[in-house]
């Protein structure tokens, strides 16, 4: 037995250009619009932001 009938709708998702995993990620984005909440809901590492300073030869 498939989980939530995913097998039954996978062809329809493919017609829309979506993989099954992408469908569930999009559903979670709607429920958790903030990146940190989304990371927790999807059980993935939280996003980090790095900055790069200007410098080096020829920079202003």
Number of domains in the chain: 1
The domain containing residue 34 runs over which residues? Answer: 3-42
Tell me, what's the pLDDT at 23? 85
4-52 pLDDT tens trace: 677 778 888 899 998 888 888 888 888 888 888 888 888 888 877 666 6
User: 5-43: string of b/e by CB count within 10 Å (b at 16+)?
Assistant: eeeeeeeeeeeeeeeeeebeeeeeeeeeeeeeebeeeee
Q: Residue 54 falls within a domain, yes or no?
A: no
Q: Residue 24 falls within a domain, yes or no?
A: yes
Q: Residue 56 falls within a domain, yes or no?
A: no
Q: Residue 60 falls within a domain, yes or no?
A: no
At residue 2 the predicted structure's pLDDT band, cuts being 50, 70 and 90, is very low
Rounded CA gap, 47 and 39, in Å? 8
Q: Residue 8 falls within a domain, yes or no?
A: yes
Residue 59 scores a pLDDT above 70: no
Rounded CA gap, 34 and 46, in Å? 11
């Amino acid at each position: 037995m498939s989980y939530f009938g995913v097998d039954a709708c996978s062809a329809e998702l493919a017609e829309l250009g979506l993989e099954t995993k992408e469908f569930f990620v999009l559903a979670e984005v709607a429920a958790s619009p903030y990146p940190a909440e989304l990371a927790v809901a999807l059980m993935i590492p939280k996003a980090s932001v790095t900055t790069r300073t200007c410098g080096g030869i020829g920079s202003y």
